[in-house]
Structure 1
């Protein structure tokens, strides 16, 4: 049995304190809708171009029950093109500003691993920073999060989106390695004054489909860290490859995986298909009341 680290100093919390005094309640699991602003998202059905299409999709997701909208301008699919900081800002910042104007009460997450993008994203209206790299791809990112005092989603990944598929060998137990990684990163975040943190085990990031299935089965073991967990399983290869399908045909499999994630303690589901995820949360919550770890 994994033991809780003694040196992270993060108390168990089921809320995220966002800018403007707003609080996101995670006592009941919430759904995060994905709004990809990239032309090469691995799921073609989620690629968004013009502003009117963005706002239409955002309104639809919020109407279906999404608590958070996650906007990203840098594709993190395996082997994705490495775009410049300026290009990422061009895609992301106007989109965040537009969504904030149209939906002032929405919780907006900026999906970026770059400090300068993160800072401008929060200025444009983002409430939460979602970093696939855990601060490993930009040394200024974690100090920036501390200065901005916004909730931070800490993900586990090795390498970069361009190299991560070659970095799937783990010498030690996979979940134990993740706990150690999060422990060390949480200690670093504490030094920068960051206290509102969500853990993302990084399904599909430097992990094979088989490793992803093991991680999902053991997801509850991450609760030793006392922080909410995000599960990003939507239409990923660990869902569709074992079935011999494509991402476009992976909705049913995604629902099944999300159900398992919730039963094993996930507090946020990051998804392309909001209505189905909200229904999944409702049914799981009704089946396992009260819904708490």
Structure 2
């Protein structure tokens, strides 16, 4: 009888140990699953560090942010990298990823916008006050991101075309495939004027400008004026889930989180204005 009771206790202990081990393995596997990787354009570092902290606090999910130029991020995806979520500074990049089959078009949401502005080197040596001034003789060079690769360049080209200025100024354009390098042109006085986003990267990612030698605290640039919004399509800052995302459920939860009132307020405070159009 005693031997039988001892055997029962032994099997009971084994069962408890196995159950405990199963729980540990399950929790460990769950911890591994509950993480996502987000590709973010480098000019949006400040707002996304803030969003990351809030999302991790809410969900317990680890968010790995990968910052790089938007064009570079797309190239990395084409070469085989698979984040869970892609953030783009406009529709141009996101549309390319959807068309090429990398991003699930049904997942794409617009969560912010940017204002397109004229930016001059400090001192405004060409005396530019409005978009039409770009056609004047004193304006020799105009900085712009490559409009075939960057949303900011695409919107700038649209504005110049709709204003009837494209043919008059296209010979003055100094373009670069890397939007940050294009912004560097004006900060270092290499062009007379540039067309960029108002806050990105000047407010939402100033450390990226510093990485290319721009002393942001010295304000080597000045924003001249906003380009009228009727001259270009609405700027839609977007988030989309990769078709091959490892954690699709949490990826969509993160995208939805960007649209919550608290997140919208936080993003706006950190340099990504809210997109007012209800057609998200």
**Shorter-chain TM-score category?**
under 0.3
Of structures 1 and 2, the one scoring higher in RCO (CA 8 A, sep 6+) is: 2
Which structure: greater strand fraction? Answer: 2
Could you tell me the TM-score, scaled by structure 1's length? Answer: 0.26
Q: Which structure's CA Rg is the greater one?
A: 2
Which structure: greater helix fraction? Answer: 2
Could you tell me the TM-score, scaled by structure 2's length? Answer: 0.27
